[in-house]
Amino acid sequence: MNIKHITEAQFDAEVLQQKGIVLVDFYADWCGPCQMLGPILEEVADALGDRIKIVKVNVDEAQGLAQQYGVISIPTVYLFDGGAKMSKFVGVKSKEEIIDFIENA
């Protein structure tokens, strides 16, 4: 499953207006832990398939969104369900930990 990179302008349509579960990864290209999390999120996307949508937001290009959602450290990952913010975690987690986070939010 593809992980989509979205802009601040796309956030409303791609996250807030979605009916299902959306995982949003706030990251930066220069961030080492963010680079480590990327392949793990690909594995999560493959494991969960159509049950979840995963998008990435570059905080350097979407500073307004990062500020709006209180992103201080990266990676910060938010879980939205039906457009409502449900939960978040900061830092790198394993595939199993992320799936558990999603299923128990």
Q: Read off the CATH number of the domain in which 94 is found.
A: 3.40.30.10
**Would you put residue 84 in left (φ > 0), alpha (ψ -120 to 50) or beta?**
beta
User: pLDDT digit of tens for each residue in the chain (105 aa)?
Assistant: 689 999 999 999 999 999 999 999 999 999 999 999 999 999 999 999 999 999 999 999 999 999 999 999 999 999 999 999 999 999 999 999 999 999 998
Can 34 be counted among the known catalytic residues?
A: yes
Q: How far apart are CA 26 and CA 65, in angstroms?
A: 9
Domain span including residue 80? 4-103
Can 31 be counted among the known catalytic residues?
A: yes
Catalytic residue among 34, 48, 54, 79: 34
Give the global pTM: 0.95
Catalytic residue among 3, 31, 40, 105: 31
Number of domains in the chain: 1
Half-sphere exposure of 61 (CA within 13 A, CB side): 15
Contact between residue 4 and residue 12 where contact means Cβ atoms under 8 Å apart: no
